Amino acid sequence: MNIFRFLGDMTHLISILILLLKIYATKSCSGISLKTQELYALVFLTRYLDLFTDFISVYNTVMKLVFIASSLAIVWCMRNHPLVRRSYDKQLDTFRHYFLLLASFLLALLLHEKFAFQEVLWAFSIYLEAVAILPQLVLLQRSGNVDNLTGQYVFFLGAYRALYIFNWIYRYFIDPHFTRWIACVSGLVQTALYADFFYYYFISWKNNAKLQLPA
């Protein structure tokens, strides 16, 4: 464990806590893409299959449980909670995310560390996480004004993988045999997808103005 990865995990946890706060405090999920949340739930479920077979550390196990439980709770809430589901922007959240599922799965069948069930699903979860934010970013562009908590949520979500890139650079310097090409290249793509969001987020922060994404 190194500081970059720890900060990355904490940033990821903060983004989830912000989303839970928004949904719990405002009883609303306006501006949040259910499709992105469903993709994240699938990312965690397919990545943490080793939850009960490989014990790495208490921290690792606890964080995996938190990520799985929170992502499922958010999806459940957005689908079933009477107040929350009414505020879901169904007509704006129209990204065809099934293509993302299919593309990630096909890529995982081609590119993986080992052709084994758990490894192919692990690679699938890595590729899927890289593109899972797309429905959310498209929804933000369509909904125009972005409320504060949603903006913070997406910002921390993008920042976490950026910190992981520093973690991979650090681990490479510590041990040149350390290569995680699949995670690293996907992480770069994932962070790059946030580039324009980060730009408009920075502009809104500099001008102390509301976050506006161009349509």
Partner 1 sequence: LPEENDHDEL
Interface residue list for partner 1 (CB under 8 A): 5, 9, 12, 47, 50, 54, 56, 60, 63-64, 67, 113-114, 119, 122, 164, 167, 175, 178, 180, 183
User: CB of residue 60 vs partner 1: minimum separation in angstroms?
Assistant: 7
DSSP states of 93-141: ----HHHHHHHHHHHHHHS-SSSSHHHHHHHHHHHHHHHTTHHHHHHHH
User: CB of residue 199 vs partner 1: minimum separation in angstroms?
Assistant: 27
Residue nearer to partner 1 on the CB measure, 67 or 88: 67
The Cα 41–Cα 35 span in angstroms is 10
The Cα 77–Cα 27 span in angstroms is 10
User: CB of residue 165 vs partner 1: minimum separation in angstroms?
Assistant: 12
User: CB of residue 48 vs partner 1: minimum separation in angstroms?
Assistant: 8
Residue nearer to partner 1 on the CB measure, 48 or 201: 48
What does the buried/exposed string (b/e) look like for 90-100 if buried means 16 or more CB atoms within 10 Å of the residue's CB? eebbebebeeb
Number of CB atoms found within 10 A of residue 25's CB: 9
CB 189 within 8 A of CB 122: no
Residues 6+ apart with CB under 8 A from 15: 152, 153, 154, 155, 156, 157, 160
User: CB of residue 156 vs partner 1: minimum separation in angstroms?
Assistant: 15
SS3 56: coil
Residue nearer to partner 1 on the CB measure, 22 or 47: 47
Residue nearer to partner 1 on the CB measure, 122 or 194: 122
CB 134 within 8 A of CB 100: yes
User: CB of residue 62 vs partner 1: minimum separation in angstroms?
Assistant: 11
Residue nearer to partner 1 on the CB measure, 152 or 167: 167
Residue nearer to partner 1 on the CB measure, 79 or 114: 114
CB 43 within 8 A of CB 132: yes
